[in-house]
Amino acid sequence: MMERTLSIIKPDAVKKNVIGKIVDRFESQGIRIVAMKKLQLSLEEAKAFYAVHKERPFYESLTQFMTSGPVVVMVLEGEGVIAKNRAIMGATNPAQADPGTIRADFASNVEQNAVHGSDAPETAAQEIAFFFSGRQLIG
């Protein structure tokens, strides 16, 4: 099924100057980028984006990290791209991520883990709408 998903290149990966290397992981797997922008999240925006985690002990630290520098947000499109993106990213904790995944290669730790990807069609739709209007998605 043709799908779209939200991808974020997090501040740790932007600081490591590997935006292009991460984008290449998607494009070389046949995924198309239908929207992309670099931005600085405010604390309010980071808290709203990760509201689902607000009871977790890492919420404060996660939102501080996500506002520690610019991020790149992208909408990826492709057949089964939600699961495909998660496979390309690897496990949340880079210590458990398969070799050759983005997190195995570029993440620092379970929090500073280089990329975010939506986990299901409903969250993908919500997360895409959080950053982009319909007319900013160019298929």
Binding residues for ligand CMP, rule: CB under 6 A, are 53, 58, 62, 92, 110-111, 113, 116
Q: How far is the CB of 135 from ligand CMP (least distance, A)?
A: 26
Rank residues 51 and 138 by Cβ distance to ligand CMP and give the closer one. Answer: 51
Q: How far is the CB of 22 from ligand CMP (least distance, A)?
A: 14
The SS3 assignment for 2 reads strand
Cβ 40 vs Cβ 67: under 8 Å: yes
Catalytic residues: 116
Rank residues 110 and 125 by Cβ distance to ligand CMP and give the closer one. Answer: 110
Cβ 102 vs Cβ 114: under 8 Å: yes
Q: How far apart are CA 24 and CA 31, in angstroms?
A: 10
Q: How far is the CB of 62 from ligand CMP (least distance, A)?
A: 5
CB count within 10 Å of CB 77 equals 19
